[in-house]
Amino acid sequence: MRKALLMLALLTVSLVASAKIERPRLVVGLVVDQMRWDYLYYYYDQLEEGGLRRLVDEGYSCANTMINYVPTITAIGHTSVYTGSTPALHGICGNNFMENGRDRYCCTDENVRPVGSTSEAGMRSPRNMLANTIGDQLRLATEFRSRVIGVALKDRAAIFPAGHAANAAYWYDNSVGHFITSTYYMNELPQWLQQYNREHGTKPGEDQRLLPQGVAVTFDMAEAVLEHERLGMGDETDMLTISVSSTDAISHEYGTRADITQESYRVLDRKLAHFLKLLDEKFGRDGYLLFLTADHGGAHNPNYMNAHKLPAGGWASADLRKKANTALQQRFGVDKLIAANYSDFFYLNHAKIDSAGLSLQEVKDEAIRQLQTEDHLLYVVDCEHAATAPIPQLIRERIINGYNRHRTGDIYCLPRANQFSWVPASNYAGTTHGEWNPYDAHIPLVFMGWHIQHGETTKPTRIVDIAPTVCALLHIQMPSACIGDAIF
């Protein structure tokens, strides 16, 4: 009897030891900065079979994925993809925002030092992010045995996707011409990266984001991380987050239809094809899970639109702020009661209002009345009371999702469609983004690889649905402030 019980106990221990949740060896999140949803099809005939076209032909496409907050900005988009949340909860309210009356860059951290350079570009961390990410949850689920690393040219695009508990995040410092990190992650660059920087560094001062080769630089670095850090080669699932920044910077400078913009996507297509082939060779076609999406879209250039009789233009947001401040000074006797404006949000100067003994609501109401005189604005909304604003429900929800009381402006200005927040010059060829409209908010979302069958849905999905979908596939808890729903 004792022998039988002993054998049963040993068998139980053996079964427990061998039992393991089925997961892919590697998860790859790929964000293409400012990639409009329709680019998947606008460029389709120009694509190689193994790159973006392969994603369309083999992957599962969520063709009606929208960003469900404003503003549609890089730092917010990357954060929302990986947290499954919005600025109201994850706290990244723009590339720049104000907090307690101070201007703040989204990932600046004065408590860390640069590693790999001596410039301010290395004083970065994810500490301003108030929620955790897919990678953080993966690390938690595996007792931190999983490895998570982020790569991008932009600091914010490497840092926020990788999360708080990431093993590393690497971004490009133009001042030195190579990849760096900060003491948040490590005190010295790995030996392989020091060697890589010596061999692959570029001319200091040259902005790789404005060159199609910046796309290649990003993928080359991602492949180097994959190889030298041996991601996907251990006992637990690892994660690599990649963001392609050049597509955004080039489009800002030259527009959505420029030859150099199209060249950047041809480079993206070629490098993605090579990267997917590498993943196939390392892990097998069903051994990894990859998703491609964007942090936001982008508007067509207003001069280009006007040339084809399509309505577009701009409104002078900075001039409007000055005009409103003049009116507020005449009414309340205090100058510059509107402190700043970022991405259609106007920030009141609460310290001045308090010290002058003024009513915040009265100042806000007067500011709204003045701002509403701008012809290019459809609505001017008191963010604190957006839930009762007489505006379309979809836009009202996006304002609420984008409003963080401590970091977002007091007033939101809603412009007409295709209206930039400045007046473009007649020779201006570039573009921008930030609005609720489909050209900025409709993003691609394609899953491929592990347990993903080919298909497409036009059922409405949202940027915040990406994180819970990946977490559901991995059988791990969704991120801490997640408000999305798993797609599958």
Q: Which residues of 47-67 are buried (b: 16+ CB within 10 A; e: fewer)?
A: beebbbbbbbeebbbbbebbb
Q: Is the pLDDT of residue 10 over 60?
A: no
Q: What is the pLDDT of residues 110-138, one digit of tens each?
A: 999 999 999 999 999 999 999 999 999 99
CA–CA distance, 156 with 163 (Å, rounded to integer): 11
Sign of CA dihedral 113, 117, 120, 124: negative
Structure tokens at 258: 């420029």
Q: What is the mean pLDDT of the chain?
A: 95
The sign of the dihedral angle between the CA atoms of 205, 318, 246, 80 is: positive
> Which tens digit of pLDDT belongs to each residue from 354-407?
999 999 999 999 999 999 998 899 999 999 999 999 999 999 999 999 999 999
Q: Which residues pair with 62 in a beta bridge?
A: 457
How confident is the model over 286-308, as a mean pLDDT?
Answer: 97
pLDDT at 144 over 80: yes
**C-alpha neighbours within 13 Å on the C-beta side of residue 70:** 27
Q: Which two tokens stand for residue 16?
A: 């427990």
Position 345 confidence tier, pLDDT thresholds 50, 70, 90 = very high
Contact assessment for residue 416 and residue 238, using Cβ atoms and an 8 Å cutoff: no
Residues serving a catalytic function are 74
**Percentage of the residues of the chain whose pLDDT score is greater than 90:** 92
pLDDT in tens, 232-263: 999 999 999 999 999 999 999 999 999 999 99
Provide the whole-model pTM: 0.95
Name the DSSP class of 453. P
Of the candidates 309, 381, 370, the one whose C-alpha atom is nearest the C-alpha of residue 345 is: 381
Residue 103, SS3 per DSSP = strand
How far is it, in rounded angstroms, from Cα 28 to Cα 226? Answer: 10
Residue 9 confidence (pLDDT): 52
Q: How far apart are CA 394 and CA 222, in angstroms?
A: 37
Predicted pLDDT of residue 12: 47
Per-residue confidence (pLDDT) for residue 16, from 0 to 100: 44
Please give the average per-residue pLDDT across 272-290, as a whole number: 97
Flag whether pLDDT at 15 surpasses 70.
no
Averaged pLDDT, 147-161: 98
Residue 273 half-sphere exposure, CB side, CA atoms within 13 Å? Answer: 14
Task: Quickly state the pLDDT bin for 7 (edges 50, 70, 90).
Answer: low
Dump pLDDT digits (tens) for 422-436.
Answer: 899 999 999 999 999
SS3 156: helix
* Per-residue pLDDT at 38 exceeds 90: yes
The pLDDT of 480-488, averaged and rounded, is: 96
| pLDDT band, very low/low/confident/very high, at 21 (cuts 50, 70, 90) | confident
Amino acid 2: pLDDT: 52
- Mean pLDDT, rounded, for 77-90: 98
C-alpha to C-alpha distance for 474 and 484, rounded to whole angstroms: 16
Q: How large a percentage of the chain has pLDDT more than 70? A: 96
* 190-234 pLDDT tens trace: 999 999 999 999 989 999 999 999 999 999 999 999 999 999 999
Whether 300 contacts 429, CB under 8 Å: no
Structure tokens, 451: 């347990």
